[in-house]
């Protein structure tokens, strides 16, 4: 059996003290290294809350999250921050590139945040940019790129620290059909070549169908966890 | 130094906003440097004009009219004090000038010219004639000479305290810069004054002193009062006799500090509001940096660095503005010289940077506390 990368147990999140809203309740699943999975659900179903908990951006009200064998529930803010930098890559619906920096600088940023030097990080950044078909754009300002290019730079940035897991929240929500297809193709390529696990949150079932495993969240509960034999890349 | 690099980029990204706030600091610190130097120079000038050419501490006999005997011990006591820069024994008496149908009262000071110069600088302020104090010489002031039509070389008649008349030759005419002093004072040789007063060679009316720091006169006078060598004398100093001047200087300083304080408050509010706006503008960037693993403290330091960069640039420019204002004012407006007060300039610079840093506390804390989810979910 493949090594477990992520283990979520009894995960729940409740907001409010007096009037409480249960966003997520008793979610349990595990993700193996190199898996290519999606979380699907309607708006407000709790899928983004789940992603935030797994991504250590938020703390659960109940349950626990283990990443790479490390139990994270007891960690403080700085401990979770460090783990995010080391183990996770994020891709959001909006690219969130820093407009003050060039493409290359944006891509090396997670490495700089982790304490690396730009000189040492540059070869890896160029390698990732090449993998995503962004050669030659290194010195451009992030604002000079098209929407699709920006999102690809954001993916490159998510990959810089060689994360074990990339969490993508509606990563193609702002893209046209052609760019959407390209982004998933790239996710697959990275998954295959680097062995990076992907967990993609989407409300679009057609998108989810392209992944190997679909976790469905509804009303804050994990209602389905199925292997998707059609999701495997052709060839 | 990632925080510094990001801070610099944030500032460069909004050049107009950055330039405006640096200009705001520059104006504030410029006013600070100028106003501070102006007030300090003005006060130095005022003090110099008022008491610079007069004794600041006077040792006289405890009983009025009695002489002070300047023994070796007395001289050693006075000259032994490091704070004392001039020791001038003088013999003073009143006399009346008698001219053609006119008479005028005079305060006659007898002493050695070399010693008198250390306080009164008569030689340096001579308008006509040659300043000498020998034989029957007398030195008179500009207004006195003009009123009585006296020129160097003229003979003048003085009625002495005992009613006797003395004929003396005007050796030189001096200008002390104030009509009252020029009208009142006349200088004669020490030996002549001793004759008039019936003093022995070691007896004088008073010993006049100047001190290096004029405001130390109170302390110097207090110490001299406790000196056994000076028993039987009374020591006076300028500050207790010029309370109005001192309170005017004090008021001037207070109003200057008040203005400077509010200028700094205005600068601080300006920086704080700009940084607060900048912190809001950059919320998205900070959020994503935190999501990718930037620690809270490091994120907070971005705005601390922004404030430092703005503070250092603005304060440095402000020092330039202040020095330029001083140069312009000295050249075109002032009737006295404004000297840049370098210690004060350095202090203003430091205060500028400190105020900028202080202003960054709120945006820095806000940034530290920012939760990346707030930004990311906002899309």
Task: Write the pLDDT tens digit of every residue in B303-315.
Answer: 899 989 999 999 9
Tell me the average pLDDT across B271-276: 79
Judged against a pLDDT cut of 60, whether residue A46 lies above it is answered with: yes
Cα B101 to Cα B121: distance, rounded to the nearest angstrom: 32
CB A86 to CB B294 under 8 A? no
Percent of chain A with pLDDT over 90: 68
What's the pLDDT at A5? 95
Instruction: Give me the residue label for tokens 């000196």.
Output: B227
What's the pLDDT at A157? 94
Domains of chain A, with CATH numbers? Answer: 34-59+76-227 (3.40.50.300)
More confident residue, B279 or B157: B157
Judged against a pLDDT cut of 80, whether residue A148 lies above it is answered with: yes
Judged against a pLDDT cut of 50, whether residue A234 lies above it is answered with: no
CB B292 to CB A58 under 8 A? no
Q: How many inter-chain contacts (A to B, CB under 8 Å) are there?
A: 66
In chain B, what are the domain boundaries? 2-49+245-378, 63-231
Tell me the average pLDDT across B3-13: 93
Q: Does B141 touch chain A (CB under 8 A)?
A: no
Query: Could you give the C-alpha distances from B327 to B30, B166, B283, in angstroms and in order?
Result: 12, 53, 44
- Closest-CA distance of chain B to residue A157, Å: 9
Judged against a pLDDT cut of 90, whether residue B94 lies above it is answered with: yes
Nearest CA in chain A to B286: A98
> pLDDT for B190-249, tens place per residue?
999 999 999 999 999 999 999 988 888 999 999 999 988 888 899 999 888 888 888 888
Residue A235's pLDDT band (cuts 50, 70, 90): very low
Q: At what angle do helices A147-159 and A103-113 cross, to 10 degrees?
A: 30
Task: Give the H/E segment covering residue B233.
Answer: strand B233-237
Q: Does B370 touch chain A (CB under 8 A)?
A: no
What's the pLDDT at A2? 61
What's the pLDDT at B379? 43
The phi, psi pair for A73, rounded to 5°, reads -60, -35
**Number of neighbouring beta carbons within 10 Å of residue A188:** 19
Contact B150, B119 (CB under 8 A): no
More confident residue, A97 or B102: A97
- Closest-CA distance of chain A to residue B15, Å: 12
Which of B290, B264, B277 is CA-nearest to residue B355?
B264
CB A84 to CB B12 under 8 A? no
Which of B116, B97, B86 is CA-nearest to residue B189?
B116
The residues in B 245-304 lying below 8 A from A, measured between CB atoms, are 284-285, 287-296, 298
Chain A residues whose beta carbon lies within 8 Å of the beta carbon of residue B10: 100
Min mean pLDDT across A217-231, B160-174, B292-306, B325-339 is at: B325-339
Residue B100: both structure tokens together: 């053609």
> pLDDT for B302-353, tens place per residue?
989 998 999 999 999 999 999 999 999 888 876 777 888 888 889 889 988 8
Judged against a pLDDT cut of 70, whether residue B377 lies above it is answered with: no
Q: In what order do the strands lie in the sheet with A70-71?
A: A21-32, A4-15, A62-67, A70-71
What's the pLDDT at B378? 54
Contact A86, A161 (CB under 8 A): yes
- Closest-CA distance of chain B to residue A79, Å: 9
Judged against a pLDDT cut of 90, whether residue A97 lies above it is answered with: yes
B88 Rama class: left (phi>0) / alpha (psi -120 to 50) / beta? beta
Residue A230's pLDDT band (cuts 50, 70, 90): low
User: Dihedral sign, CA of A78, A160, A70, A58?
Assistant: positive
Q: Which residues contact B269 (CB under 8 A, 6 or more apart)?
A: B359
Judged against a pLDDT cut of 80, whether residue A179 lies above it is answered with: yes
Tell me the average pLDDT across B166-178: 92
Q: Which residues contact A101 (CB under 8 A, 6 or more apart)?
A: A109, A141, A142, B9
């Amino acid at each position: 059996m493949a090594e477990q990368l992520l283990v979520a147990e009894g995960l729940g999140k409740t907001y409010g003290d007096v009037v409480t809203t249960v966003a997520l309740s008793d979610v349990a699943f595990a993700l193996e290294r190199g898996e290519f999975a999606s979380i699907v659900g309607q708006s407000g179903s709790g899928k983004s809350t789940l992603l935030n908990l797994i991504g250590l951006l938020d703390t659960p009200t109940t349950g626990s999250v283990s990443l790479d064998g490390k139990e994270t529930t007891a960690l403080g803010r700085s401990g979770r921050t460090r783990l995010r930098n080391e183990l996770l890559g994020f891709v959001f619906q909006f690219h969130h590139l820093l407009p003050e920096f060039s493409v290359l600088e944006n891509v090396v940023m997670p490495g700089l945040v982790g304490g690396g030097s730009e000189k040492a990080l540059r070869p890896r950044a160029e390698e990732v940019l090449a993998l995503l078909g962004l050669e030659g754009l290194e010195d451009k300002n992030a604002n000079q790129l098209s929407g699709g290019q920006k999102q690809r730079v954001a993916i490159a940035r998510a990959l810089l620290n060689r994360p074990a897991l990339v969490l993508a929240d509606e990563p193609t929500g702002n893209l046209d059909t052609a760019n959407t297809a390209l982004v998933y193709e790239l996710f697959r390529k990275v998954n295959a070549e680097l062995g990076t696990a992907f967990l993609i949150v989407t409300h679009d079932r057609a998108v989810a169908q392209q992944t190997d495993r679909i976790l469905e969240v509804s009303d804050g509960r994990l209602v389905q966890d199925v292997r998707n034999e059609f999701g495997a890349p052709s060839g | 130094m990632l925080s510094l690099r990001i801070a610099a980029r944030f500032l460069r990204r909004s050049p107009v906003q950055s330039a405006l706030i640096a200009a705001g600091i520059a104006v504030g610190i410029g006013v600070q440097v100028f106003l501070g130097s102006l007030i300090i120079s003005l006060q130095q000038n005022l003090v110099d004009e008022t008491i610079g050419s007069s004794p600041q501490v006077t040792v006289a006999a405890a009983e009025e009219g009695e002489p002070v005997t300047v023994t070796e011990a007395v001289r050693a006591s006075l000259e032994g004090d490091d704070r004392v820069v001039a020791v001038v024994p003088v013999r003073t008496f009143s006399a009346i000038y008698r001219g053609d149908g006119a008479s005028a009262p005079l305060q006659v000071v007898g002493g050695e010219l070399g010693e008198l110069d250390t306080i009164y600088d008569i030689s340096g302020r001579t308008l006509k004639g040659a300043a000498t104090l020998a034989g029957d010489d007398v030195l008179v002031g500009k207004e006195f000479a003009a009123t009585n039509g006296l020129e160097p070389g003229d003979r003048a008649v003085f009625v002495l305290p005992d009613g006797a008349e003395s004929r003396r030759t005007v050796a030189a005419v001096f200008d002390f810069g104030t009509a009252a002093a020029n009208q009142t004072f006349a200088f004669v040789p020490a030996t002549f004054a001793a004759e008039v007063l019936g003093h022995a060679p070691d007896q004088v009316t008073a010993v006049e002193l100047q001190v290096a720091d004029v405001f130390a006169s109170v302390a110097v006078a207090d110490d001299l009062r406790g000196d056994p060598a000076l028993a039987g004398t009374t020591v006076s100093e300028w500050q207790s006799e010029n309370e109005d001047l001192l309170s005017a200087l004090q008021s001037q300083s207070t109003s200057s500090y008040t203005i400077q304080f509010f200028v700094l408050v205005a600068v601080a509010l300006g920086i704080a509001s700009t940084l607060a706006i900048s912190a809001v503008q950059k919320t998205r960037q900070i959020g994503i940096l935190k999501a990718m693993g930037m620690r809270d403290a490091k994120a907070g330091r971005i705005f601390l660095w922004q404030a430092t960069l703005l503070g250092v640039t603005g304060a440095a420019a402000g020092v330039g503005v202040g020095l330029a204002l001083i140069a312009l004012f000295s050249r075109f407006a002032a009737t006295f010289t404004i000297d840049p007060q370098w210690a004060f300039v350095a202090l203003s610079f430091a205060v500028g940077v400190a105020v900028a840093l202080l202003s960054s506390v709120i945006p820095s804390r806000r940034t530290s506390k920012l939760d990346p989810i707030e930004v990311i979910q906002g899309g």
